[in-house]
Amino acid sequence: MERKQFELGDVVQMKKPHPCGTNAWKVIRMGMDIRIKCTGCDHSVMIPRLEFERKLKKILSRAGEDPQS
């Protein structure tokens, strides 16, 4: 299985959407634990890195990419 690469500021999709109906989370803190913020309601959660990698479905947008270009 391919290891998913993610960086601070990336917007990711998880296997389960947030109860608010949004399934786009922004990575706002990296470390032993990852903090992600729901882009729909601004609720943030901290989860262990391994658990985050398991629940991560895909990367929606990269922090380094300029959507205007």
Binding map of Zn ion across residues 44-63, x = CB under 5 A, - = no contact: --------------------
**What's at 20, amino acid-wise?**
C
CA separation for the pair 41, 28 (Å, rounded):
15
Of the candidate spans 1-9, 10-18, 50-58, 61-69, the one that interacts with Zn ion by CB under 5 A turns out to be 10-18
Residue 43 or 62: the one with the smaller Cβ distance to Zn ion is 43
Q: Write out the DSSP string of 10-58.
A: -EEEESS--TTS---EEEEE-SSEEEEEETTT--EEEEEHHHHHHHEEE
Cβ at position 39, least distance to Zn ion in Å: 8
- Residues binding Zn ion (CB under 5 A): 18, 20, 22, 38, 40-41, 43
